[in-house]
Amino acid sequence: VVSTQSTWRLRLERLGFIDSDSSSSDDDLINHHIPRRNERMFDSLSEDEDVPQPTRGPLRHLPPGNNSMSSRQKVPFSFRESVNLVTGVRLYGVGHWARILKAFNFHSKRTGVHLKDRWRNITKNKQVDYFTEK
């Protein structure tokens, strides 16, 4: 029966941490420090050198302009679109944004989320009566 310590000795020999002709005892192997991956990576640095810090990914808060992370151009709601939204909410109810979007004429890039946000702003500013057709 091969002991656990002998098994570890063979593994350490195969990995190159100890020499096969080493005369060290199994007790020395148990107390032997095996460097971890991070320790091996910085062995070549002297104590005076700074340890390199990981770099962050692309910046999320870039100034507006010609960059790859700029959002789509905002298209303000026209008066007619706001009237259509208020009329659609009266017909179909709050929350049926996709149905309202299909039933009325809106800008081609509008989504249900745009309608929801516009409705929130109209109600917050108490403008429902202003956009109601008479």
pLDDT at 81: 95
80 is written with which tokens?
A: 């007619």
Question: Model's pTM, two decimal places?
Answer: 0.48
What are 68-111's pLDDT values in tens digits? 555 678 899 999 999 999 999 999 999 999 999 999 999 999 99
Helix then strand then coil, % of the chain, to nearest 5: 40, 0, 60
In this structure, the dihedral spanned by the alpha carbons of residues 54, 60, 64 and 69, taken in order and rounded to 10 degrees, is 100
pLDDT at 13: 78
| Residue given tokens 């700074």 in the structure block | 50
What are 5-58's pLDDT values in tens digits? 677 777 777 777 776 665 656 555 555 555 555 555 555 555 555 655 655 555
| Residue given tokens 């709601």 in the structure block | 77
